[in-house]
């Protein structure tokens, strides 16, 4: 009789312990799930709001008092600074497309090129912006796999273009491809490699999908690599393969 009571008590304690563990596990999982949703939204909102305030603080004070709409509304207008910056930048871009605009830009760049410190900063910023904002036709051709840092170990990389000029001549390789090997989790840094075409394995995933894989350290991968590719994407792949075949 006493043994039965003792067993029942042990069973009750075990059930209570299991219930506590289950409760804490569910609470932990719910918290982590909420964290994954709340943190990106919060950070995005914070950065957007910070950008709006930054442009408002820098741009609005430059507007003459009589032309400032806030003067007549007696209240601040969130986003007015970034809106005016967008309009101003668009107008400047339209002007520089013309003949006289291009001449002014050339003269300005010549003056900057003669200033030691300023030219270094200007050229660096210009190259970064041109790289980030360049058209898709000038971006990476395709995602691929290469053996790095040794044979048997594979890394995701991006095909830039066929290697030309002195580098190809010095290496003495007929079919050489310029490949960018990004680092994880920051794909903006990496290594420029010159790889023989025969050592490159093309991937079916797009450049964007491969970039997500690199940034997530392999946690995010395309769900279905056997999906049907539409006409535009098929043409894109053909161009990439022609690049390696040329």
In this structure, what are the phi and psi dihedrals at residue 76, rounded to the nearest 5 degrees? -75, 150
Percent with pLDDT over 90 in the chain: 23
- What end-to-end distance do the CA atoms of the chain give, in Å? 88
158 neighbors 210 (Cβ within 8 angstroms): yes
pLDDT for res 196: 93
Q: What is the mean pLDDT of residues 152-179?
A: 90
pLDDT for res 10: 61
145 neighbors 203 (Cβ within 8 angstroms): yes
Alpha-carbon distances of 218 from 29, 155, 200, rounded to whole Å:
22, 11, 20
- Tokens (6 digits) for 137: 């036709």
Per-residue pLDDT tens over the stretch 127-148: 777 766 665 445 788 999 999 9
Nearest to 53, CA basis, from 86, 82, 87, 84: 82
pLDDT for res 194: 94
pLDDT for res 115: 87
Collect all residues with Cβ–Cβ distance below 8 Å to 184 and sequence separation of at least 6.
Answer: 214, 215, 217
Give the span between the Cα atoms of 232 and 135, in whole angstroms: 16
What are the structural domain ranges in the chain?
37-97, 103-133, 136-245
Q: Burial letters for 148-163: b for 16+ Cβ neighbours within 10 Å, e otherwise?
A: beeeeeebbbbbbeeb
Asked if the model's pLDDT at residue 5 lies above 50, the reply is yes
Give the span between the Cα atoms of 43 and 48, in whole angstroms: 9
Task: Give SS3 for 230.
Answer: coil
pLDDT for res 148: 94
pTM of the model: 0.48
The number of beta carbons lying within 10 Å of the beta carbon of residue 239 is 12
């Amino acid at each position: 009789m006493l043994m039965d009571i003792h067993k029942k008590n042990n069973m009750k304690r075990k059930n209570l312990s299991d219930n506590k563990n289950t409760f804490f596990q569910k609470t932990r999982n719910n918290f982590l799930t909420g964290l994954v949703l709340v943190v990106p939204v919060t950070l995005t909102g914070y950065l957007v709001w910070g950008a709006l305030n930054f442009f408002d603080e820098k741009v609005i004070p430059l507007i003459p008092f009589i032309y400032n709409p806030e003067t007549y509304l007696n209240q601040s207008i969130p986003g007015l600074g970034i809106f005016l910056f967008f309009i101003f930048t668009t107008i400047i871009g339209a002007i520089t497309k013309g003949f006289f605009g291009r001449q002014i830009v050339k003269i300005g760049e010549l003056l900057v090129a003669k200033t030691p410190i300023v030219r270094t900063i200007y050229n660096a910023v210009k190259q970064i912006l041109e790289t980030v904002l360049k058209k898709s036709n000038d971006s990476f051709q395709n995602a691929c796999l290469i053996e790095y840092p040794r044979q048997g170990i594979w890394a995701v990389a991006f095909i830039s273009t066929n290697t030309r000029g002195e580098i190809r001549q010095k290496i003495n390789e007929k079919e050489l491809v310029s490949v960018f090997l990004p680092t994880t989790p920051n794909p903006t840094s990496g290594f420029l490699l010159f790889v023989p075409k025969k050592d490159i394995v093309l991937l079916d995933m797009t450049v964007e999908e491969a970039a997500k894989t690199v940034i997530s350290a392999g946690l995010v991968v395309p769900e279905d690599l056997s999906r049907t590719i539409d006409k535009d994407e098929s043409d894109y792949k053909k161009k990439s393969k022609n690049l390696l075949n040329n």
